Amino acid sequence: MFTGKYILSPMVRVGGLPFRLTCLHYGADLVYAEEVIAQRLLKCTKVINETLGTVDFLDEDGGVCFRTTSEESDRVIFQMGVSDPEVAAQAALMIEPYVAGVDVNMGCPKDYSIKGNMGAALLTQPDLIKRILCKLVEVCSKPVTCKIRILDNEEETLSLCREIESTGVAALTVHGRTRYTRSSHPCNYDMIKKIKKELKIPVILNGGSLDITKKGDMTALMKETGVDSVMVARAAWYNPSVFRDPEPVPVREAVQKFMRYCIDYNCPLHILKYTMGKFRGAFKDNESSLEVTRHIETKLIYQYFGLGDYYNEVNSKRKDDVQEEFQRNKRQKLDKDHQILRAEITPTILQSFRGVIAPRQILNQWLEANGFSKPKYWTTECNKIFTGFLQIDNDIFAMEGNFKNKKTATQAVSYAYCMKNHIELRHYKTGARTKTECNCKCKSGG
């Protein structure tokens, strides 16, 4: 299963169903889904989405944690982030009927993985790695794999790989960089060669996108290093038809295919925009991805790529799918239980407060000066988009919008409350106070 394969690497926010199907269409043999934290999966509800023809795992807020379809079920590998063997086993048993295999992320260097004792944090804990993988191999009926990065020390790297092989995993993916090496640095092919010579199980090379623009480059890397298969991330993100033999198609053509899948499977706008940011050559002369993706209406982006009619046709026939119904009920409950704040808040407005006192601090000071109790802030998340909440005494306010992190969501709800109640927003700088007039057009709500 893992020999002579051309594989899509897991990529956060990019590796959703539309992108995976695009890569499969152009010749990828296997596609790894974006990492899902095992604890999050266990809180999900599995639903059959008859409108889209998918199996969806929806989290508590209605966000899609994982979505798949029969078109990929025998070629998609589910990757989890996990630090506990029992949790890993529960997540694997929950997901394995719908995928071709289960993978453990042991190479992600991002803070959220490290702080959760997942990803690259596992590389220095071989005993924990063995317990996780042994448990998965014991309970899973599908192949189990893992993905690592190399260590600074050659012998420690080889020793770790031997320990992993002893667990009974079906294959090992090796990213040829350390936890601290940037993607702009060369991949350490020599170390991957040594790992391959040391192991009997299939070894999958990862990290070679700097040297890959077509399928033939992947084949050349297999021959050069002796590995069994090659996995790519950025090379596929730049052009998802990189798997096509003998040459990829023009990027714009591949992007149009990707966008058709986005329409078919109701891809969220922020995921569409994020993915498009790396497509090279997809846009017209003198026009960047930012100039196109600045549009806040989904249909305008599809129109740019000549898919406006297809978008309208599909959506005119489509009934609300289960996720949309879930989220509509959530919004109705939100409207009933909270005062909804509405304001035109652009990223530029919030960015204008960088280096000065932000809206949340201004509001806190105003509330204290006017005898209110200390406010409470929190957020909820759906499809990696956050809603900010603000409680003042017994009143709860909410601000929905396209906010990509908790900090921005709480600043936005503070800003909207200030505008609704005519609280003057000033920019306070160290040693001076400079008044900055707000020029946004706000709508009161509640």
Task: Among 292-296, 327-331, 377-381, name the one with the lowest average pLDDT.
Answer: 327-331
pTM (2 d.p.) = 0.78
Residues forming a β-bridge with 147: 105, 173
Q: Does the pLDDT value for residue 322 go beyond 70? A: no
Whether the Cβ atoms of residue 390 and residue 414 lie closer than 8 Å to each other: yes
Res 27 pLDDT > 90: yes
| Coil, strand or helix at 433 | strand
Q: pLDDT tens digits for 119-141?
A: 999 999 999 999 999 999 999 99
Query: Which of 326, 335, 337 has the alpha carbon at shortest distance from 382?
Result: 326
Say if strands 229-232 and 101-106 run parallel, antiparallel, or are unpaired: unpaired
Q: Which position has the higher pLDDT, 382 or 302? A: 302
Whether 75 shows a pLDDT value over 50: the answer reads: yes
The more confidently predicted of residues 71 and 324 is 71
Of 106 and 400, the one with more pLDDT:
106
pLDDT at 436: 37
Concatenate the DSSP letters of all residues of 278-310 into one string.
T-TT-S-TT--HHHHHT-SSHHHHHHHTT-HHH
User: Which pLDDT score is estimated for 443?
Assistant: 35
Cβ neighbours, 10 Å, residue 230: 26
Q: List the end-to-end C-alpha distance of the chain, in Å, as a whole number.
A: 57
Going by C-alpha positions, the residue among 170, 222, 231 that lies closest to residue 196 is: 222
Point out the least confidently predicted range of 207-211, 250-254, 309-313, 432-436: 432-436
More confident: 423 or 23: 23
Which pair of tokens denotes residue 216? 């033939």
CA geometry: angle 20, 23, 27, nearest 5 deg = 135
Residue 110 has a pLDDT of 86
Residue 142 per-residue DSSP state = S
**31 neighbors 76 (Cβ within 8 angstroms):** yes
pLDDT tens sequence across 347-361: 667 667 766 678 898
Catalytic residue among 108, 161, 262, 382: 108
Instruction: Give mean pLDDT, residues 57-86.
Output: 94
Is the per-residue pLDDT at 327 higher than 90?
Answer: no
* Lowest-pLDDT range of 52-56, 100-104, 254-258, 266-270: 266-270
pLDDT tens digits, 94-122: 999 999 999 999 998 888 888 899 999 99
Is 176:189 a contact under the CB 8 Å cutoff? yes
Average pLDDT, rounded, for the chain? 87
Q: Which helix (H) or strand (E) holds 160?
A: helix 154-166
**Which whole-number Å values give the CA distances from 232 to 23, 109, 206, 433, in the listed order?**
11, 17, 6, 51
Question: According to the model, what pLDDT value does residue 224 have?
Answer: 97
CB 184 within 8 A of CB 214: no
The predicted pLDDT at position 380 comes to 82
Tokens at 427, concatenated:
């920019």
DSSP-derived 3-state class of residue 134: helix
Q: How many CB atoms lie within 10 A of CB 334?
A: 17
Those residues with Cβ within 8 angstroms of residue 336's Cβ, 6 or more apart along the chain or in another chain: none
Mean per-residue pLDDT, 435-440: 37
Strands of 365-435, DSSP E: 376-382, 385-392, 395-403, 427-429, 432-434
- Distance between CA atoms of residues 337 and 403, nearest Å: 21
According to the model, what pLDDT value does residue 442 have?
Answer: 35
108 is catalytic: yes
- pLDDT per residue over 369-392, tens digit each? 888 989 999 888 766 678 889 999
Paired residues of 8 in beta bridges:
31, 232
User: What CA–CA distance (Å, rounded) separates 432 from 446?
Assistant: 35
The stretch 30-41 carries a mean pLDDT of: 96
Average pLDDT score over residue span 60-76? 92
